Each structure stands twice: as structure tokens, then as C-alpha cells.
Amino acid sequence: MARSSPRKKPTVNYNEGEAPKPLARAVAKVKSLAAKATHKRKAAAEEADDGEVNGHSNGTPAAPAPKKRRTAKASKDEQGGMPLAERTAVASLKKAMYIGAHVSAAGGVQNSIPNAVHIGANAFALFLKSQRKWDNPAMTDEARDLFLHNCKEHGYDAGAHALPHGSYLVNLAQPDAAKADQAYASFVDDLRRCEQLGVRLYNFHPGSTLGDARPAAVARIAAQLNKAHRETSSVVTVLENMAGGGNVIGATWEDLRDVIALVDDKDRVGVCIDTCHAFAAGHDLRTPEAFDKTMDAFNDVVGAKYLKAFHRTLTTCLQAKSNPPPPPYPRPLRPVSVCSRS
């Protein structure tokens, strides 16, 4: 079948055992590069869950893990036991939209690329560092170079097709000064990692009032964003809508609008709509009519120009409520779409 993807080197229509030789070589090359860069990552990778990133402290290689002969089974397990999937030909879609999932970056950001290739993703989300730890080693030059190399090799434009997700620990609305500084330091560190990797969009949860007045909390988020924008040069900070409840900011379109209103550089802020969060917050998306109505409301309150991406999690959300629950995926994947406006 003819390749129809607009990518320079689309990885379409092959299974691992019967790959055409150039593709097989490309895949093997990425795997060997990733393996070469991170052959010591096994111990760390084992403790990492989906998406958790490990790295080397201060650019110094971590202590070598015990050597273990790699087997075909180990390699298959590492890839989730899934066959290589073909990418959607973006040019065949009515509107250019890059579809993928949140992929693991265990062992280093460079490993997100083969993981994205493996599932046929045209776009992907990842964690740039552990999403559950405050202390993280700096990203190594080697990891950065391999990420850039792998993107090029597989035709990903990190600026358009990657949407890293922020730490779950960071709350930019934090009222406590010391904790706010800690949150900010982690946040801006992620933005700097984005810029090193050529990533243009960075997705994060707005935060929680922690019981404080909502306008003050919204103002703190915007102030942190303004500071972060001044200290970086290009990355767009993408607010995610939330399921809501209590002190959480972002369950209403108005919350997102109010944060954006206080951001000085409107080109540096956007929105990612998580469909499960939206549904849980009362925005129906289950039919084309309901979807249109919800998106009209978003456009009226926030503005479609700020929409950068979707987390298409509604199905998972609805399945989670079904009884009996659906069988588990081979590994957790959170579908992501990155809208292209070019």
C-alpha cells in the first residue's frame, strides 16, 4: 500500500517481524541509540511507572545497573507486547489533527519517540521528569540530543506534535510563599526543558485555591505564568480544564478565561480540553450536537483561538463508570490530540 502520511519518514503498514528493510533499520537504529544512551537505565526504569522519567544527576551518568542479557521477550515486554501500529495519514483527515497518546519517557525523554512510533502516534504527550517528585536530575545533553535525533528520524516536529504534561505536585495558585517558590521552580524548569527540546506547548493543571478566595488564586496563577514567560522565550503554557469540585481551578470555562485575562503575553497561553474532565464538570460531549454546544460555550467564554489540544479521555471516563469495567489496556494510554492551526 502506498504511504500516505505527509511525514518525511512515515512508519506505516508494517509489523515488527515483516518490516521493510529501511524501516526495520530505522527502528533498529532508534532502539540501539536509545539502548546505547540508557543501557544503564534498567533499574530506574523498573521503578518507573507509566511516563515517569528518570535521568542522570547533574549530567553525571548514574551508577551502572547490573548487566543483563537482553532477550527478545524483554524487548517485547518493554514495548508493552504490542505490535507496531500504523500512523493515521493526517492529510486524509478533514482538519489537520495530530493524534497520539501519553507515552512513557522512562529512562529519558528520548525514549518517548520510539514509544510513540510503536503505537502509530502522530502526536504524543510525555512527562519531562518524574511527575511525582520535587527533586529531579537535570536533563542531560545526551538525552536532549537523542530526543532531537529521534524526532528528526521519525518525522516528528516537537514544536507541533509534542505536548508534555506538568507535574501533579505543582500548584501555581499556592498561597504559601515558600511552597509557591518550589512550585514555580519546578514549573519553569519544565519550560526550560521544553525549550531545549524544541517543544512549543506545555500542558499543566491550573491549581487549587487551597481554600483561599478564588480571584486571589487566579491572580497568583497568572502572576506565576507572567514571571515564567519573562524567564523563558517561546513555550506556550497550556491550561487544562479540570473536573472540578471544591477548590480546584479550571472546572469552568470562566476560570480559564479569568486566568488568561491576567496573562500579559496572550501568545504564550492556551488551553487543552480534557474531555473526561469536561464531562465530569457538566459539559456534555457525547453526541455531535452536545459537542457543538459545549464547544460553542467554550468559544464564547474563552475563545477558540486559545484551544491547542484535546485529551480525548471521555471514552475511558465513561467506561470507568460501566459495570462490569472494561478489560485493562496492555498499558495505560491517555489519548492526546494536538490541534494544528497551520
CB of 261 to Zn ion, least distance (A): 22
Residue 279 Cβ, how far from Zn ion at the closest point, in Å?
Answer: 14
Show the binding pattern over residues 60-99: x = contacts Zn ion (CB under 5 A), - = does not: ----------------------------------------
Axis-axis angle for helices 141-153, 21-38 (nearest 10): 170
Min CB(58)–Zn ion separation in Å: 29
Report CA dihedral (164, 168, 173, 178) to the nearest 10 degrees: -110
Least separation in angstroms between residue 210's CB and Zn ion is: 19
Q: Nearest Cα to 191, choosing from 180, 178, 201, 205?
A: 201
The Cα–Cα gap between 246 and 258 comes to 18
Residue 255 three-state SS:
helix
Query: How many residues does the structure list for the chain?
Result: 342
Q: Name the residue nearer to Zn ion (CB basis): 240 or 255.
A: 240
- Cα separation of 73 and 75, whole Å? 5
CB of 46 or CB of 329, closer to Zn ion: 329
Question: Considering the complex, what minimum distance in angstroms separates the CB of residue 340 from Zn ion?
Answer: 21
User: In this complex, which beta carbon is closest to Zn ion, that of residue 240 or of residue 258?
Assistant: 240
**DSSP 3-state assignment of 248?**
strand
Q: Give how many residues touch Zn ion by CB under 5 A.
A: 1
Report the residue closest to Zn ion, judged by CB: 240
Least distance (Å) between residue 178 CB and Zn ion:
25
Nearer Cβ to Zn ion, position 78 or 240? 240
Nearest to 100 by CA among 81, 128, 125, 79: 125
In whole angstroms, how close is the CB of 163 to Zn ion at the nearest point? 10
The number of angstroms, rounded, from the C-alpha of 97 to the middle of its chain's C-alpha atoms is: 15
Please identify, using beta-carbon distances, which residue of 56 and 205 lies nearer to Zn ion.
205
Q: Which is nearer to Zn ion, 5 or 112 (CB)?
A: 112
Provide the minimum distance between the beta carbon of 240 and Zn ion in the complex, in angstroms, as a whole number. Answer: 5
Among candidate residues 123, 127, 313, the one with its CA nearest the CA of residue 203 = 127
Beta-strand relationship, 201-204 and 207-208? unpaired
Bridge partners, residue 271, by sequence: 239, 307
Closest CB to Zn ion among residues 30, 281: 281
Site string for Zn ion, 232-251 (x = CB under 5 A): --------x-----------
Distance from the Cα of residue 271 to its chain's centroid: 13
| 3-state DSSP percent of the chain in helix, strand and coil, to 5 | 45, 10, 45
Rounded Cα gap, residues 12 and 15, in angstroms: 9
**Which residue lies nearer to Zn ion by CB, 87 or 165?**
165
Point out which residues bind Zn ion (CB under 5 A).
240
